[in-house]
Amino acid sequence: MSINVVTLIGRVGSDPDMKYFESGKVKCRLTLAVNRRRNSDEPDWFTLELWGKTAEVAGTYVRKGKQIGVKGSLKFDTWSDRNTGTPRSSPVIQVDQLELLGSRRDSEGDMGDSSPENFG
């Protein structure tokens, strides 16, 4: 049996980077800062990748500083370094579910309401 499930709650580090493909697919990438249990520690940063309707929701409602919750799986993007040809990889959270969290103050100026919503 194998399990690959990641659940995170944190604050978005940058506005969503949206990509629209000729096939009609939509992809969104963004970063998420997650604090450790001790507030004195620096946050851990994660790269998130969202597709389809979940990506569209993120593009519409998620902005830098917004608190969100995500559930998904860990994957690794791999490539060869352009200069050296050395194999490289980077961890990415492939998001299946997105929840908009936070207070009304977090949502001021947004078009959405402040209640938590579940998309996925």
Question: Which residue type is seen at 78?
Answer: T
Question: Computed over its alpha carbons, how large is the radius of gyration of the chain?
Answer: 16
Distances (CA, A) of 91 to 11, 12, 16, 74, 79: 18, 17, 18, 7, 12
Q: Rounded to an integer, what distance in angstroms lies between the CA atom of residue 113 and that of residue 99?
A: 13
Q: Give the model confidence (pLDDT) of 2-58 as tens digits.
A: 899 999 999 999 999 999 999 999 999 999 999 987 777 789 999 999 999 999 999
Rounded-to-10 torsion of CA 18, 26, 99, 17: -10
User: What per-residue confidence (pLDDT) applies to 1?
Assistant: 84
- The fold adopted by the segment(s) 6-106 is OB fold (Dihydrolipoamide Acetyltransferase, E2P) (2.40.50)
Question: Structure pTM?
Answer: 0.79
Q: Is beta strand 67-80 parallel, antiparallel or unpaired with respect to 117-119?
A: unpaired
Q: Give the model confidence (pLDDT) of 56-77 as tens digits.
A: 999 999 999 999 999 999 999 9
Structural domain spans, the chain:
6-106
User: What per-residue confidence (pLDDT) applies to 102?
Assistant: 78
Cβ contacts of residue 6 below 8 Å, gap of 6+?
70, 71, 72, 73, 74, 93
